[in-house]
Amino acid sequence: MLIRDGAHQEGIRQLQMVLRVSHEQDLNIYTAKAYAKLSEAHLLSGAPEQALMYQERANRLSNHIMNADRLRKIDEMAIRYRTAEKEKQLALAENKSLIQLQRLTQQKWIITLLTMGILSTLLTARTILRKRRVARLKLEIKHQQELEQAQKAKELAAMQALFSGQEQERKRIATDLHDSLGGTLYALQLQLAKSKAPEEQHHILQRALAENRRISENLLPPTLTQIGLGAALQEWADEFRSTWPVSVDLHLEETSYELPEGARISLFRIAQELMNNVARHAAANRVWVQLYKTAHSVQLTVEDDGQGFDTSSTNELFLKTVSSRTRLLHGTLHVDSSPGRGTTVIVEIPVQSVSPVVS
């Protein structure tokens, strides 16, 4: 009744109590029924694997009961048949009418056997139908898993295209700033050098050139593509210190593996975002950045001594960009934080995403 009313969990609990009692009393028929009801309850509550397990147990026990009952009836029939044969021998000596009665008895048993055969066929057909339903359920689950995998692959491709487009646009803007605006400012600097412009104008132009260079390098640090991730992080840390009142400790190890350009850019952007988050939201005095390798991975760790937060209360948009970039590198993201105890973020990239240095 609880199963029909939708109270699946309560129904499961009561059915398990029934199952324990039937096991203790060796009541196989009730045990089989309890298995069948548990299968139905688990299926309705959204647990198809449990439903399949209990259904298979119910089928096996039902078959066992049916076979035992069949053997018992056959034994009884054999005993009765032998008894009838003896009675027949005695009856032949006493009365012919008893012979006819014996024949009727034999016919009755034949009918009984036919009836039992029909019932057995019906039970077998029912078992086959149940197995087919279970097979269809397995196929639906597999199809759903394939759809989910395809959706994840589609999302990864979209994120890859988005990040690739962003980096191309940054590169274009950085090139334009360097070649166009930088060239114009440099020409203006030459003209001012030839004129008797006030010293203040020279200082303003120098600041404009420095700011143009800073913006261009932030968009796409030349050190990142020319030297490597460690050097780029060093330069970014210097820029970070000049912008935010947060102390930065760097521990960089990049000696035995050379990261591909895509991985270098992604890890650099991840470090940028994590450090900016610390400066803007963590109320931290210090941040530690560590890049090192293990036997199976390259790890980037960003840790702060800020106010921390409750990780269970964050939503799916928390560190979405960091998470997306990590997934594209086939890596893992781990966030450890609690209120008042700072935050540690670890990004781990498998060695398949990097290539050994060729000496």
pLDDT for 253 beyond 50: yes
More confident residue, 293 or 24: 293
Q: How would you class 222 by CB atoms within 10 Å of its CB: exposed for 0-12, middle for 13-18, buried for 19 or more?
A: middle
What's the pLDDT at 256? 43
Between CA 329 and CA 348 the distance in angstroms is 9
Specify the residue for token string 């034994």: 75
The overall average pLDDT reported for the chain is 77
13: closest CA among 33, 38, 49, 47?
38
Whole-number pLDDT of residue 177:
53
Percent of the chain with pLDDT over 90: 13
Whether pLDDT at 249 is above 90: yes
Task: Please give the biggest Cα pair distance in the chain.
Answer: 152
- Half-sphere exposure (CA, 13 Å, Cβ side) for 195? 11
Tell whether the model's pLDDT for residue 35 goes beyond 70. yes
Compute the half-sphere exposure of residue 210: CA atoms within 13 Å on the CB side of its CA. 7
CB 10 within 8 A of CB 40: no
Tokens matching residue 299: 């790890």
More confident residue, 258 or 186: 258
Q: Is the pLDDT confidence value at 23 over 60?
A: yes
Most confident of 58-62, 74-78, 107-111, 188-192: 107-111
Over range 39-48, report the average pLDDT: 84
Q: What is the mean pLDDT of residues 317-337?
A: 86
User: In terms of pLDDT, which residue wins out, 200 or 86?
Assistant: 86
The more confidently predicted of residues 167 and 21 is: 21
The highest-confidence range among 148-152, 219-223, 299-303, by mean pLDDT, is 299-303
Instruction: Of 77-81, 152-156, 310-314, 325-329, give the range with the top mean pLDDT.
Output: 325-329
Query: CATH number of 221-356: 3.30.565.10, 2.60.40.10, 3.40.50.2300, 3.40.50.740?
Result: 3.30.565.10
Residue 105 main-chain phi, psi, to 5 deg: -65, -45
- CATH code 3.30.565.10 region(s) in the chain: 221-356
* pLDDT over threshold 70, residue 136: yes
| Identity of the amino acid at 130 | R
